[in-house]
Amino acid sequence: MIEPWAVTVSAAGASATARAGVAREMEDWLAHGGHGVALVTCHRAELYGVGSMPHLGPAVALAGESAVAHLLRVACGLESVIVGEDEVLHQVRGALTQARLTESLEPRLQRLFELAIAAGRKARSRRTASSANLAQSAVAWLQLRASLAGRTVVVAGAGRMGAALAHSLDKVGADLIIASRDPARAVRLARVHAGRGVGLDEGADLSGGAAGVAVALGGPWIELAKAKSKDLPPIADISAPQAIPDAVRRRLNGSFLGIDDLYTQSRPLPGAYIEDARRLVALKTAEYMAYLGQPR
């Protein structure tokens, strides 16, 4: 029986910088002929495959039933900071879609991802109201430090997570300025929320007068270190790796939330969801292992 494997590193055991390094090693391995599915999220960098397995930095290697159960747990949100959050299921689905576009997937690996996606959907169909997502958690953290309703909040980033931040901030009544490396993209997102779209340099200059700043960028926000105003409001940065320069973060005097901080500041997990999802993971893991044992 040829079993799947997983090479995984998460925020629970490695810094954002270390995770980014492992993610680059995974990309290199795939680019040089390796076969597998890479899953890179805010909190984890993982590679799944069948056959030859690479050894990557500080990543942990799992094989067989352990690897299968791990992907199922990830898809069901059991490995997320916010249990049952939706973003990771989108990312699992996106990882499979990307792999299909770039290579011919090994059938056992494709079936594993399809099973994980189905399990993630089924688990969330019985989700409790206490589940949340990263953007909502970041906005809740900002609300503890400043009143946001009717006040300006800068969102740096206009991608999927930036849009989630904008949506959550709009719901609490904030006036939004969306900043992006692509100003046109910022304008499009800002229009949805009756806000203003600008480039990252202008967004950095406007941050000093804002009630808060929420960040979801794919690279460092170097413009913020050069901003005209040195007095900054609380900043929640859910980028991975962290987008806020260290020099800026140090002068915030604790008014900074990074992606890894959510591990210590998240709310208690909903017990009913966890128990249901664990049972589903065990059931689907057994189902997949039985499939592997069938004659080919």
Question: Domain 4-129+271-292 is in which class?
Answer: alpha beta
* Confidence bin at 130 (pLDDT 50/70/90): very low
* Confidence bin at 129 (pLDDT 50/70/90): very low
Catalytic machinery residues: 42
| pLDDT score at 30 | 92
Q: What does pTM read for this prediction? A: 0.66
How far apart CA 258 and CA 214 sit, in angstroms, is: 10
| pLDDT score at 160 | 86
Domain coordinates in residue numbering, the chain: 4-129+271-292, 134-265
Name the token pair of 133.
Answer: 């997502």
Cα 67 to the chain's mean position, in Å?
Answer: 20
Q: What is the average pLDDT across 178-201?
A: 96
* Confidence bin at 262 (pLDDT 50/70/90): confident
Mean pLDDT of the chain: 90
| pLDDT score at 212 | 97
**132 pLDDT higher than 60:** no
For the beta sheet containing 60-63, the strands, ordered from the edge strand earlier in sequence to the opposite edge, are 37-40, 44-50, 4-10, 60-63
**22 pLDDT higher than 80:** yes
Instruction: Fill in the amino acid letter for 16.
Output: A
CATH 3.40.50.720 at 134-265, yes or no: yes
| pLDDT score at 131 | 42
Contact between 115 and 123 (Cβ < 8 Å): no
